[in-house]
Each structure stands twice: as C-alpha cells, then as structure tokens.
Amino acid sequence: MSQTPNGSTPSAETADVVIVGGAVMGSSVAFHLLSDPAFSGRVVVIEKDPTYARSASALSAASIRQQFSSPVNIRISLHGIAFLRDIGARLAVGDERPVIDLTEGGYLYLAATPEGAETLASNRAVQEAEGADIAVFDPAGLKEKFPWLATDDLLAGAWGRSGEGWFDGWGLLQAFRKKARALGAEYRTGEVAHLERQGGRVVAVHLADGSRIACGAVVDCAGSDGRRIAASAGIDIPVHARKRYVFSFTCKGPVDNCPLMIDTSGAYVRPEGHRGAEGQMFICGISPEAEADPDWDGDAEAVDWSLFEEVIWPALAMRVPAFEHIRPGRAWSGPYDMNLLDHNAIVGRAGEVENLFLANGFSGHGLQQAPAVGRGIAEEIVHGRFVTLDLSDLGYGRILAQRPLREANVI
C-alpha cells in the first residue's frame, strides 16, 4: 500500500505514523518506514528529551552478540551485525558517513558447573545452526586463548569468534536520527500524555501541552515510559525500568585481547577505547534483578558504588588477577527496561488495538536489536506482516497468554 490508512477523526493536525520515543528504536522505525518505496506518508517522532541524557540508548554498554539460546534473538543479532558493519553506507547523509567504532572482540561466557557447560554446548548448537560463529573451549583451551584468565574452577567457555563486540551507542542513535530526518521524519520535542482510543484503534496522540495529532498508526518506542503509554490505550505490558549501573576503571596489567567477558558471578567487563599511558580502560556492571532492584529514577549521577566495591570488583579480580590493582573511574546509572515475564522484547501489533505497535521491554538488548526490530515494525505497518525476519515469537500474544519465551543467556 502507498501509505498507512488513516481512520482517525478530523483534527487540526494529522500524521500517518506517530512514533512515541525518538531514541535508537524510534529513529530506526522512522528510518525504515521512510526507506520503504511502498510508504509515502507523514512520520512524526515525539521525543520528550532531545538531549537523550536519560535515554537507555545513551547510557548502556553498547554491545552486540549472537550468544542467545532462542533462534529469533540470534537472527535479530545476525541482521544487526550485518547492518552495523555497513552503517557508513546504509545511514550516510550526503557525503557524511557515520562511524560507530565497531569492535568485534567477541563475548566470552564462562561456566563452572556441569549444567552450565552443557548449556553453553547446547546453545552453541542452536547458534551455529543459525549461522553464528561461536567456539567452545575447555579450561586448557581457555588458558591458551586468554592467558590472563583464572580457570581453576571453570569447566568451559564460549566465545564469539566474529559478529560480536561493542560499538559507539551514541553514534548509532545519532546516525539513525540524522538519516531519518534527512528522509523526511519530523522530530518534535514533547511528552505524550495519552493515546486516544476508539474501539479497536488509536485515533490520536495527545501531548502534555494540549496538542492533538490524529494518526493512522502509533508506535510505542518510549523506553522506560512505554508501559504508561501502552496502558493509556488499554494495553498492559509487564515492562518496568530497573536501575542499571555502569562502572569504569583503568588497569595497568596485561589483559590483552579481552572480549566482553561474562563471569560465572554474572558480572561483565569489556575494554573501552585504546590502551593509554595509564593502562587500559574497562567498563563493567551486572544485570539488575527483576524484583529486588529499585526502579530507575531518572538520575544518571546517582550511583551505588557499594555494588562495584562489594560485588563486581571482587568477582572480576578473582577471575582476572590483573584486576586486583586498578584505578576506579567514573560511573553512571541508567534505565534497564525489563520485561518481567521473560526478559525479551515485546514487538509488533498490540493485540486488539490494530494500529498500535509495540517495541518495548528490550531488557538490555535494545541497541543491538534496533536495526532488525525497526525494520520489522516498519514492515508490519506498511505491508501488514514481517517480511525480512519473522519476529512473531516476540509478539504481544505471548504476554496475553503468559507464555514466556525462555532465554538462557540473559545478562
């Protein structure tokens, strides 16, 4: 079809698609919509904070992996790494080609129990069947590959030889946003108060300043505010913004070719930037717990240093002896938009509300999944179905049925 059908009531302003949230996910949806030759509508992106100072896109550890246990997540990330490798061409605006410093250093998952080693092996079989490039090591292989690693208590490790690593998340956000604007997306600073629903459709988006935009379709990409936005149209999603901390430190000791390592404790660490005169900088953290951790309060400066000093650093120093002697750096907190049902994203049409589309609850995977999910949502709007990748396993139906999509590799 040429554009989204507009079934809304008359209004002073109309848009074919209104996207709530203009960070990486919303900007990816806008880019993919306006890149589709079959779409010729007006796209308005509402973003309450154009500085993105409190956005998960700007405050995350910005990484990508194929080491999931569910095929849909693996396919999404394989699509994502191909997109990131070619970002200079895909998101170029005129002669300006974006750079995101993609580093394919791999993820390294460690296992210290027979059950954990078996999980790594079974996951690898699924990952390789989907085309991922994953190697599994025994303790001797781990020591040979990563000589700085303490392996006495380990039974296995799985490492992504290619297609996994980290990048400049802020750069990716800005590249999507700039390209979407160049294609005609209109970005507006404002806060969505509520969605106006009539029967099985959202007919308008109401902003806090009193303005109203009639619409043909709405995409909820509102991150930590996504649950409230969906609820205003009668859709309940189990997404809560948990507080996530990222800590940095510098280490002088040799930790060469360090991947993004996930310790058996759940703590992660990866290099950041290039090694300097003071040593190599690293960033680290640990996933928030669904129930115990507090909600994100919007304050990026409020950091619980005891988590680093009492939990993360001791675990990392046990695993990498060189980390016993470090110099702590800066730290920040940010939102972790957690889907409490299964820690997986909720993607696609919102059940009975036929023109509301969800992109919520990414639980730390949003940046790496933005290329595939943005394209998938755009395809559903324009073509009425997923075309490039079938994302239906992440659909809202599993939320209604309380049928979690089990994912063994959650960090």
Query: Radius of gyration of the chain from Cα atoms?
Result: 21
Has residue 411 been placed in a domain?
no
For residues 396 and 358, the answer to whether their CB atoms sit within 8 Å is yes
Give residue-wise pLDDT tens across range 294-314.
Answer: 666 666 678 889 999 999 999
Quick one: 112 and 232 in the same domain? no
Quick one: 181 and 222 in the same domain? yes
Quick one: 278 and 390 in the same domain? no
CA nearest to 355, candidates 10, 14, 17: 17
Has residue 408 been placed in a domain?
no
* Distance (Å, whole) CA 275 – CA 253: 11
**Global pTM value:** 0.93
Per-position pLDDT tens, the chain of length 411? 334 444 444 447 999 999 999 999 999 999 999 999 999 999 999 999 999 888 888 888 899 999 999 999 999 999 999 999 999 999 999 999 999 999 999 999 999 999 999 999 999 999 999 999 999 999 999 999 999 999 999 999 999 999 999 999 999 999 999 999 999 999 999 999 999 999 999 999 999 999 999 999 999 999 989 999 999 999 999 999 888 899 999 999 889 999 999 999 999 999 998 888 889 999 999 986 655 566 666 666 788 899 999 999 999 999 999 999 999 999 998 888 899 999 999 999 999 999 999 999 998 899 999 999 999 999 999 999 999 999 999 999 999 999 999 887 666
**DSSP string covering 385-407, please?**
S--SS--GGGSTHHHHTT-----
Quick one: 264 and 280 in the same domain? yes
CA nearest to 226, candidates 216, 236, 217: 236
Has residue 66 been placed in a domain?
yes
Quick one: 271 and 188 in the same domain? no
pLDDT of residue 242: 84
Has residue 4 been placed in a domain?
no
Q: Domain boundary at 293, 316, 335, which?
A: 335
Has residue 407 been placed in a domain?
no
Tokens at residue 82, please? 């191909």
For residues 219 and 29, the answer to whether their CB atoms sit within 8 Å is yes
Quick one: 176 and 83 in the same domain? yes
Quick one: 251 and 360 in the same domain? no
CA nearest to 46, candidates 63, 69, 29, 64: 29
Quick one: 245 and 232 in the same domain? no
Element (H, E) at 187: strand 186-189
Q: Domain boundary at 302, 335, 368, which?
A: 335
For residues 371 and 248, the answer to whether their CB atoms sit within 8 Å is no
Has residue 7 been placed in a domain?
no
Quick one: 249 and 319 in the same domain? yes
**Domain range for 228:** 14-95+169-238+341-401
Tokens at residue 268, please? 């992660």
Quick one: 128 and 220 in the same domain? no
Quick one: 356 and 295 in the same domain? no
Has residue 385 been placed in a domain?
yes
CATH number for the domain that contains residue 215: 3.50.50.60
Quick one: 245 and 314 in the same domain? yes
Has residue 102 been placed in a domain?
no
Question: β-strand 43-47 against 134-137: which pairing, if any?
Answer: unpaired
The type of residue at 166 is W
HSE-up of residue 36 (Cα within 13 Å, Cβ side): 28
pLDDT of residue 243: 84
Q: Domain boundary at 283, 310, 335, which?
A: 335
| Tally of domains within the chain | 2
